[in-house]
Structure 1
Amino acid sequence: MTHLQELESEKKAVLSDWIHEHSQMVLRTAFYFVKDQMVAEDIAQEVFLRVYKKMEEYRGESSVATWLYRVTVNTCKDYLRSWNYRKLVFSQTFLEWKTGESPEQEVIRKLNENELVRKVMALPVKYREVIVLHYFEQLKSREIAELLRLKESTVRVRIKRGIDKLKEELSGGEVHGTNGQIL
């Protein structure tokens, strides 16, 4: 086996470990951004493909999880800016408007959705990403700031404003995260 083949084999082994350890986090993060399971799965595959191609660029200055979050967030933002996504959103909106749901179907659908998650997903991206990373993924403000390349104070302000928007949407009551803590 040549030296180049050994390096490729080593890269594949490392990637396999990373996929095993972090694939659920990557998939969840992608889903929080795009709100579609199938698209999130495609994005997760794209993330690991990008990571494989750029593995040599990983300098170890942050944890692998932080690096994967960053790649996932960037891949999601690329997707959300793409023409295909905008065209899909327009098409879905048009179809929903054209066909509509009966009142009974709408009530059933709304009852089946988790209200808090739905409200978080409806937040603007800049608030949604910090809320998801802080409360759902349990990252600290410092880690989120590093991940999103923002000042820590900006992250804290966005978390606060995001929570304020959620409280407003949920009629002024206390908002509880997935772990039971008050948001």
Structure 2
Amino acid sequence: MKLEPHYLKYLAETQDKDYILLDLMANYGNDVWNFAYFLTRSSDAADDLSQDVFLSVYDRIYSFRGECTMKSWILTITRNKSLNYLKKQLIRKILPVKTVPHGGTVQSAESQLFDRMETKRIWSAVIQLPRKFREVVILDAHYGLTDKEIAELLNISQGTVKSRLHRARTKITVILETDNEGE
């Protein structure tokens, strides 16, 4: 479903952009920060970009037409701002990746440790990918966007999304196998 009626309803019924912005920040703040971090590899840049993204959202909230989900719209703004930042800064430094928390039943401490180590290892491999592969993997695996949503966000065809996902997964496999051989 493309439209998010509750936001469109708020936009139609209220002039209180502050209330809408606070709600958007609560719902999408972590996603914006994480996506900016994955693209820039810098927590400081992700902090700054997150603020900048929500300032843009605040300024453009009434221009949201509902042609995509609110999440896709905000992540598109995040991507554009992150890419502009990278062009200006020419960042090439790889930073360690924080573990991605995931829910589930209670596990033993040993099992949790191995899961965290494996998750960190996988995301470290993702960070090593070229940007065009890294962003499709993150949008697919971390944010759960469909191929169509990713294609719209990146302004590429769905076939290109599928191809990049396949090639990215192949590259991740090679990186992980190379790491295993080195141990």
Determine if the TM-score, normalized by the shorter chain, exceeds 0.5: yes
Of structures 1 and 2, the one scoring higher in RCO (CA 8 A, sep 6+) is 2
Using the TM superposition, give the Cα deviation of residue 38 of structure 1 relative to its aligned residue in structure 2, in angstroms. 1.8
Larger Rg: 1
Deviations 1:90-145 (A, max 9, x none): xx79xxxxxxxxxxxxxxxxx8x922111101111100000011111121211111
Aligned-partner Cα distance in 2 for 1:64–1:172 = 39
Q: Which runs of 5+ in 2 are unaligned?
A: 1-12, 95-116
User: What secondary structure sits across from 2:16 in the alignment?
Assistant: helix
The partner residue of 1:29 within 12, 32, 35 is 35
Identity %: 29
Name the residue aligned to 1:132. 138
Using the TM superposition, give the Cα deviation of residue 159 of structure 1 relative to its aligned residue in structure 2, in angstroms. 0.3
Name the residue aligned to 1:50. 56
Using the TM superposition, give the Cα deviation of residue 8 of structure 1 relative to its aligned residue in structure 2, in angstroms. 9.4
User: Normalized against structure 2, the TM-score is what?
Assistant: 0.72
Name the residue aligned to 1:177. none
Aligned-partner Cα distance in 2 for 1:125–1:41 = 20
Deviating more after overlay: 138-147 vs 124-133: 138-147
Aligned-partner Cα distance in 2 for 1:172–1:123 = 14
User: Normalized against structure 1, the TM-score is what?
Assistant: 0.72
The partner residue of 2:68 within 62, 65, 75 is 62
State the superposition RMSD in angstroms. Answer: 2.6
Q: Give runs of ≥4 in structure 1 deviating > 4 Å.
A: none
- How many residue pairs match? The answer is 145
